[in-house]
Amino acid sequence: VALGATAAVAASAIAYSRYRANRARIADHSSASSSTTSDQVAAAYPKACIGKTFVVTGASSGIGEETARVLFANGGRVIMAVRNLQTGQLAADRIRQRHPDATGSLECMHLDLASLNSVREFAAQLMAANIVLDGLINNAGVFQQPGQTEDDFQIVWQTNALAPALLTHLLMPLFSSQCRVVNVSSQLHELWGGHSVTDACPPSSSGDSYSDYGLSKACQILHATWLNHFFHSTSSQCTAYAVEPGLIRTNIMRLSSSWIVSLNYALMSPIVKSVEQGAATTLYCMLADPVPQPGYYADCAAKKARDSCTDLQEAQVMQEIFEQLW
């Protein structure tokens, strides 16, 4: 018995020291790296999901599915906001199969960001359910996708920027006192070639260029800048982040020609991340304790976005444009 107890104590001590080391490593930004994974982040803050409710958009694949998985596996209530309920349910089933003993909950709800009406309906359903929201992860996104939405905006810009900002605006009354918002942006915001982001909004181009994608991702960072200004000016303790997940092979380039996609990933292979690594920074911003300083993050550490994305005047102009278009 004594031997068994000693072994149990030793195992607990080892587990505890691993947890402390892991937490110290993640909390110390200098040692968080591009290879830090979503599970490592969650393990560093083991109670951060328990009793909390999160909305993850685009949770039917890629980074969103991985984010939902980790929040659920660690005891969170996760609302998977998906445009296709069938693929959403398949993703939820995959997650449940991986974590049969998880104490969290998963539910799929319909949300099509290419329709502002759908955004309003989704928000109205959550309002009616009277939930308290601890985290909103604006993850859903599209890459080169030409065409206009039913609201007559470029699909890329509406899906990545205009509609998530409306969603955030509509869900704000449900935010808990320390709710965190993460906009999954991209380093490719730097590919947008113009000077003033707001001069280009709403875009009139087709939406199939890297520059169009870059503009939408720049808008997401500006939106986080505006949110943080708004939270601060209303003495709210909520925080907003824009995140660069890295380069991850997901479905994001599904509409690009397959040989270009394969060539792209082959050339970039030294920096391609796994989906577990790709979701790590989102989870860091959502779960880290103490609450990370609001801003732009990559590899679980604060980074510098291009200046025009953190310009408060630009952020306010963009918010005014958004509000007129909603």
Minimum distance of ligand NAP from residue 305's CB (angstroms): 13
Is 16 assigned a catalytic role? no
CA dihedral 318, 322, 325, 326 (to 10 degrees): -170
Minimum distance of ligand NAP from residue 259's CB (angstroms): 18
Tell whether residue 262 is a contact of ligand NAP (CB under 6 A): no
Q: Residue 273: how many CA atoms within 13 Å on its side-chain side?
A: 22
Minimum distance of ligand NAP from residue 134's CB (angstroms): 21
Query: Pick from 139, 228, 239, 277: which binds ligand NAP (CB under 6 A)?
Result: 139
Name which of 215, 219, 80 is nearest 140 in CA terms.
80
Which stretch, 68-76, 83-91, 289-297, 308-316, contacts ligand NAP (CB under 6 A)? 83-91
Query: How many whole angstroms separate alpha carbon 173 and alpha carbon 83?
Result: 23
Minimum distance of ligand NAP from residue 155's CB (angstroms): 8
Q: How far is CA 161 from the centre of its chain?
A: 13
Residue with smaller CB distance to ligand NAP, 256 or 316: 256
Query: How many whole angstroms separate alpha carbon 17 and alpha carbon 12?
Result: 8
Tell whether residue 144 is a contact of ligand NAP (CB under 6 A): no
Q: What is the DSSP string of 241-307?
A: EEEE--EE-SSTTTTS-HHHHHHHHHHTGGGEEPHHHHTHHHHHHHH-SSPPPSEEEETTEE-PPPG
Residues 151-180 that bind ligand NAP (CB under 6 A): 159
Q: Crossing angle of helices 163-171/116-129, nearest 10°?
A: 20
Residue with smaller CB distance to ligand NAP, 89 or 316: 89
Q: Are 280 and 69 in contact (CB under 8 A)?
A: no
Residue with smaller CB distance to ligand NAP, 75 or 135: 135
Which stretch, 28-36, 109-117, 189-197, 301-309, contacts ligand NAP (CB under 6 A)? 109-117
- Angle at the Cα of 186 from the Cα atoms of 319 and 150, rounded to 5 degrees: 55
Tell whether residue 251 is a contact of ligand NAP (CB under 6 A): yes
**70's tokens:** 């980790």
**139's tokens:** 């993850």
Tell whether residue 264 is a contact of ligand NAP (CB under 6 A): no
Residue 109, classed as helix, strand or coil, is strand
Which stretch, 6-14, 32-40, 55-63, 295-303, contacts ligand NAP (CB under 6 A)? 55-63
Minimum distance of ligand NAP from residue 216's CB (angstroms): 8
Residue with smaller CB distance to ligand NAP, 62 or 294: 62
Residue with smaller CB distance to ligand NAP, 63 or 283: 63
The catalytic residue among 19, 210, 213, 284 is: 213
Tell whether residue 61 is a contact of ligand NAP (CB under 6 A): yes
Tell whether residue 181 is a contact of ligand NAP (CB under 6 A): no
Q: Which long-range contacts (CB under 8 A, 24 or more apart) does 1-10 make?
A: none
**294's tokens:** 């609001």
Tell whether residue 75 is a contact of ligand NAP (CB under 6 A): no
Tell whether residue 104 is a contact of ligand NAP (CB under 6 A): no
Number of residues that bind ligand NAP (CB under 6 A): 27
Check residue 170 and report its DSSP letter.
Answer: H
* Chain residues in the site for ligand NAP (CB under 6 A): 57-58, 60-64, 83-84, 87, 111-114, 139-142, 159, 184, 186, 245, 247-248, 250-252
Active site residues per annotation: 213
